[in-house]
Amino acid sequence: MQCPKCPKSPLVATRVQAIEVDRCQTCGGIWFDNHELIPLLHERRADLAALRGRSDARGVNQKHGQCPRDSADLIRVSSALGRSVILDTCPECQGIWLDGGEFDTLLKDVAR
Ligand SMILES: [Zn+2]
Ligand SMILES: [Zn+2]
């Protein structure tokens, strides 16, 4: 699969416990298939190290992307979990794209 925000950057499968998500090495963004995000937010913090970290890529947050699975236009919505995060969601498959660093922000919001 291709990163929705970076041209020519493939997503790399990253496993956390039983869940496999896809992460972009360039921008640090992460693709979650439907129902993968919520359980992951409740995994032990130590197991989530591979998904954390902010990226240096600038401007990706404002960019409109396409779903890496079905190429539908992603819709930008504020997360019900933490209002500070605007995530990109696919109207076709309900997958969720988090830009680099947004997973960290969600973790903080959930811990509150
Ligand atoms: Zn990327
Ligand atoms: Zn999709």
Q: Across residues 49-65, what is the average pLDDT?
A: 75
- Largest Cα–Cα separation, the chain: 37
- On whether the CB atoms of residues 41 and 81 are closer than 8 A, the answer is yes
E strand residue ranges, 25-112: 30-32, 75-78, 86-89, 96-98
- pLDDT digits over 64-112, tens only? 899 999 999 999 998 877 777 889 999 999 999 999 989 998 988 887 6
Q: For residue 35, which phi and psi values (nearest 5 degrees)?
A: 75, 5
The CA 22 to ligand 1 mean position distance, Å, reads 11
Q: Find the ligand nearest to 33 CA.
A: 2
- In the chain, where the domains are located: 11-111
- On whether the CB atoms of residues 50 and 21 are closer than 8 A, the answer is no
The CA 88 to ligand 1 mean position distance, Å, reads 13
The CA 7 to ligand 1 mean position distance, Å, reads 8
Place of tokens 């973790």: 107
